[in-house]
A and B are shown apart, each in its own frame.
Chain A
Amino acid sequence: MVAPSATLSVLNRADGSASYQCPSTGSNILGSVNAPVELPGRRDALKPEDATIEVFVKPGTAPAGVGERYVEGILKTLLGRVILGREKGYPRRGVVITLAIIGGESVGRGDPYLILLPALLHTALLALLSASVPLSMTFSATVLAVDESGQILREPSAEDAATAQSVHVLAFSSKGHLLLNESQGSFDFDTWDKVRQRASAICHGTQLVSADGDVAMAEDVDGRPLEGTLRETVEDQVYRDYNWKINAA
């Protein structure tokens, strides 16, 4: 399993930006964050004590449509809970997140955005961190497909997802909460429970239930937890940014 790679602060004019590639799903996302900004002419729609979060998803080849509205809604709800919109300077202002899908499969009409969702979430998170927007916690997300034999596939390609029995996207906070679950296809609760455990292992590398031999092996297969990869990306960026200070000391 090839780990995803990311670069922070790739755009000069935006407050924060990130570019994110996930080799297994083939997605390549460029995200920018501007915060806090004054939103024009929306005084009545703005909440008086909270920041307004706007998310725009731009597909690679087509103009944004109904499917993008839907995925923007998912991102907005999740990020609205993570961003501390009541910190000083944020109420009545906007946090504008723009995510452009640069590479990877295009999503057809009526297709769910599930395969791209983790990449979009990670890009948004890294761009928010790069813009120093206050967050209550970070998160990591993954997509899993369950095929007809009940086998769990990590980060499936578009063809795998099309033939799978069910597709699940789960996001876990840095504190182990289940922040987001999007499951589609037909499955029963026990299957979902297995998917949840596997997803938790992918994101955090820890097991919720007592770990026996089998489980430990599954963890090895998944390699490094995603949480660590994201954390390291940010650490590297911070180290580069403060290079002058660290070296001077």
Chain B
Amino acid sequence: MASSAPPPALTLPPSQFARLQPHAYLLAHLSPPASSNQPSLRANGRQPAQFRPTSANTGSLTHTNGSAVVRVGDTTAVCGVRAELLPTSDIASWSVSHASSGAHKRATTTKNDADADADESHIQDLNLLVPNLSLSTGCAPGFVPGAPPSALAQSLSHQILGLLHSTRLVRAEDLRVWYQVPSFGGDGDMDVDAEEDEGRKKKNDGKEIKAFWVLYIDIMIISLAGNAFDAAWAAVLAALRDTRLPRAWWDADNEMVVCSEAVAEATRLSLRGLPIASSFCVFEADAAAGWRAVIVPDAEEEKKIEEDQRRGMQRRWILADPDGYEEGLSQERVCLVVDREMGKTVIVKMEKNGGWAVDGRELKQLVDTAAERWESLKLILEQC
């Protein structure tokens, strides 16, 4: 049994090493040995705080009212906005609850936009925004095409709807179809019913809402390589910026809402602000940090360790815009949605879950990173 030939050298190409030992592979990239003189980079060649190249394209789908394709690295989201009319006569409780109040509020709030809170309730009460996100497109190996929506797809849809409501991005006023009730000169021959009706309308400036536009916002992730939320939200934003609603009016003779065919008469939505999402994940050098029964250092000790190790070994990295490979290796996620108004950063949503590495100090830095991301993505969205 004497083997004369020397055993083959045990070397692996990087791609195999990446599959066999994903954690060690990413760690080796982030903390290269000091002797190698290599900078600390992620396995995909990015700096820890670097986002993937992003491109956006609007108006790609011709049969929608507004559409966009946003590509963030290898994650691609297609979003289409379809507008449908919801006549107020089809809303069960309309005549009781809203008919008078809507017009009243309008009269008081059109001048003062900041005061429009109550006015916006139509969007939420009548569900005028209906986003839906689909991952069953064969976007990644883990998602079966044609399968029912996964828990991830459902929670992403919910997050997008929640964000649309909480940022009040779409103005309810853009979605209303008004009708100016003509005021007839002589009202001698009116019966009592009509007179009462007329009286109510007079009170409301003679204007009433005849219909609403409902926006169905459908998002398809056609390629998923991590960080679906950022791409999906950017696609929603770009598609809503692109959306044009045809001019619609109440035809009193036919008693229905009709739309104009002329493209020139269609109006764009005027959106409130430009909230932009940026996500991060935390990569821990110690793969077992989360589950080992060893006592987890408490927050105060943690800070001390952090200070000590500032100069020496880094234990954890906060990676911006994680790709699929990095998402699989980290548990802790941070999602920030920020907007900037007159040079000030306003946080619209801040989520952090799944670990204890990110606290106040780290979040403060991330808010600054997100503000930088806002600037760059704003340029991209404005150019498309």
Give A residues with C-beta under 8 Å from B.
50, 66-67, 69-70, 72-74, 77-78, 80-81, 84-87, 108-112, 134, 136-137, 163, 173, 175-189, 192-193, 196
Contact = CB atoms under 8 A, between A and B. Distances in A.
A175 B347 contact: no
Interface stretch (B35-43, B66-74, B200-208, B349-357): B349-357
A66 to B, nearest CB: 5
A180 to B, nearest CB: 5
B260 interface: no
B299 A183 contact: no
B359 interface: yes
B127 interface: yes
A70 B154 contact: yes
Contacts of B349: 183-184
A110 B359 contact: no
Contacts of B333: 77
B159 A192 contact: no
B185 interface: no
A66 B346 contact: no
B349 to A, nearest CB: 5
A156 to B, nearest CB: 15
Interface string B334-378: 000001000011111111111110111001100100000000000
Contacts of A72: 151, 155
10 contacts: A77-B353, A110-B162, A110-B164, A136-B293, A177-B298, A178-B360, A180-B353, A182-B353, A184-B348, A189-B345
B291 interface: yes
B291 A77 contact: no
Interface of B: 117, 124, 127, 151-152, 154-155, 157-159, 161-162, 164-167, 290-291, 293, 296-300, 302, 331-333, 339, 344-356, 358-360, 363-364, 367
Contact of B300 (A77, A176, A181): A176
B358 A81 contact: no
B154 A84 contact: no
A144 to B, nearest CB: 13
A184 B167 CA distance: 9
B93 to A, nearest CB: 15
B158 A69 contact: yes
A81 B331 contact: yes
Nearest to B364: A189
A81 B157 contact: no
Contacts of A112: 162, 166
Interface of A is mostly: mixed
A184 B151 contact: no
A81 to B, nearest CB: 6
A66 B158 contact: yes
B154, B352, B353: most-surrounded residue (chain A CB, <10 A)? B353
Given A66-B161, A186-B347, 9 more contacts: A66-B158, A77-B331, A77-B354, A81-B290, A111-B165, A136-B296, A178-B359, A181-B363, A193-B360
A187 B363 CA distance: 14
Given A78-B353, A175-B298, A178-B352, A188 B155 contact: no
Contacts of A85: 291
Contacts of B124: 108, 110
A177 B282 CA distance: 15
A80 B354 contact: yes
Nearest to B368: A189
Given A173-B356, A178-B359, A189 B351 contact: no
Contacts of B355: 81, 179
A184 B162 CA distance: 9
A243 to B, nearest CB: 30
Nearest to A51: B291
A199 B144 CA distance: 42
Contacts of B356: 81, 173, 177-179
A177 B363 CA distance: 13
B360 A177 contact: no
